[in-house]
Amino acid sequence: MPDFYGTEVASRLMLGTAQYPSPSVLAEAFRASAAGIATVSVRREAGGEQAGQDFWRLIQDLGVAVLPNTAGCHSVREAVTTAQMARELFDTNWIKLEVIGHSDTLQPDPFGLVDAAAQLIEDGFDVFPYCTEDLVLCERLIEVGCKVLMPWGAPIGTGMGLNNIYGLRSLRAHFPDVPLVVDAGLGLPSHVAQAMELGYDAVLLNTAVAKAGDPVAMAKAFALAVEAGALAAQADPMDARDMAVPSTPVLGKAIL
């Protein structure tokens, strides 16, 4: 199972908490997924017994690790401030760091991401950076102290799956000892299985479950896909071949 900053998580599936039809559906979907981590976006709400308290109690009742998220932040200052708020709210040094650089694709700002990560790590945070599969960017993130990388599969919420198989495979090969999580763009259980077959440690998704016709059934499907993909990777799968090879032995075939 994946180990994030010294904490072993019981599941390779991480699940977001936004956009579900109702709190009860959210809770049922989490139970069906057996997800080990819930990501929670931080919003600027009143403290005390104001808006957001019921939601926080629901998340606590899930009994899983919480990974606060700086979703929607478009500057280093905004992301760092949001992370500091999250640490106070959720009493954790974990932070999923997003610094969005492009409004249409929601692609991360690589320069702002490295800057924000460096500031947060110096301040004692355990940073989970939402990034692209660019090797140079990932090297910079590791150099400033990130011990987990979360490259996207495709733009957030698109459900397109793994757009750059070569890039993701290269990232896995280049950083064999760094926990890698495919984050964003996963739409089907088959996408998740494919990510696990590439040797990734975990996957994070939200929209594909929350916006499904039956979120609970879809959560279960993703849970099974994660398990299948991980088992396949551990089983040392065969390599693809350019030519057909008979699976039935020719030796002993009757000669007519």
Beta bridge partners of 205: 15
Determine the pLDDT at residue 62.
87
Catalytic position from the list 96, 147, 211, 253: 96
Q: Based on the residue annotation, tell me whether 211 is a catalytic residue of this protein.
A: no
Phi, psi of 8 (to 5 degrees): -85, 130
10: annotated binding-site residue? no
| pLDDT for 57 | 85
Residue ranges of the domains in the chain? 3-235
Q: What is the pTM of this model?
A: 0.90
Question: What's the CATH architecture for 3-235?
Answer: Alpha-Beta Barrel (3.20)
Q: How many helices (H) and strands (E) does the chain have?
A: 9, 10
pLDDT by 10-residue block (mean), the chain, 256 residues: 93 94 94 94 57 77 92 95 94 96 92 98 98 97 98 95 96 97 96 97 96 97 97 92 82 66
Q: Which tokens go with 219? A: 């959560």
Residue 250: exposure state from Cβ atoms within 10 A (0-12, 13-18, ≥19): exposed
207 is in an annotated binding site: yes
Can you spell out the DSSP letters for 129-170?
A: EEE-S-HHHHHHHHHTT---BEE-SSSTT-----S-HHHHHH
6 is in an annotated binding site: no
